[in-house]
Amino acid sequence: MFSKKANQIFDDVIKTYKKKSAVEQKCINPYKKEDSLIDFLLFEKCWIDATQWAYEDIIRDPNINAEEALVLKRKIDASNQVRTDTVEYIDSYFLEKYKNVIVSKNAKINSESPAWVIDRMSILALKIYHMHLETVREDATDSHKESCTKKLNILLEQRTDLSTAIDDLLLDIEQGTKYMKVYKQMKMYNDEDLNPVLRALKK
């Protein structure tokens, strides 16, 4: 099933990323585009998410220097753009894969495209990893560990549900009972022609 492979890749990414303490690391993707484009994209996607998770932790330090925070905010913005671009790349992969499917006249559209479900799965893998750490933290109280264990169980249940959802969705698309319709995010704040502040700087 697709979800099993995706979750395994996400777990491998997180383990690899966490081997080093550095926030910014070069992503050495073990998968090649020419061998398996989707595996390559799944690895890239989760690596982006793992790096951004670290950024998000750091910027919440109430004592962070204002200049450092601004630099970090810019990195988060850039990371979000790359994340969105990668999600759209993944959807392009599925559009190409299923382009010759004969769609049933009664076919319905899904509220989320496959790639945005995958986006949620990748971030969920990070939540599971970090919540598990809280359940075994040596300096944590028993009540903290107990609370985090309950949360971890909910996250694991959510992963099961999301995994079923993506597998069912891909099967429905393959069989023509659902069809893909992808809307580009069309983010405006990074576009110097659409963001009035950036546009003013061009004059």
d(Cα 44, Cα 154) in Å, to the nearest integer?
26
Q: So what's the pLDDT on residue 131?
A: 98
pLDDT at residue 188, as a whole number: 64
Beta bridge partners of 109: 179
Looking at residue 37, its pLDDT comes to 97
- What pLDDT sits at residue 93? 96
pLDDT recorded at residue 193: 72
Position 129, amino acid? Y
Among 101, 119, 120, 65, residue whose Cα is nearest residue 173:
101
Q: What is the pLDDT of residue 197?
A: 61
| C-alpha to C-alpha distance for 46 and 60, rounded to whole angstroms | 21
> Which residues, given as ranges, of the chain have pLDDT below 70?
185-188, 190-191, 194, 197-199, 201, 203
Domain layout of the chain by residue ranges: 2-190
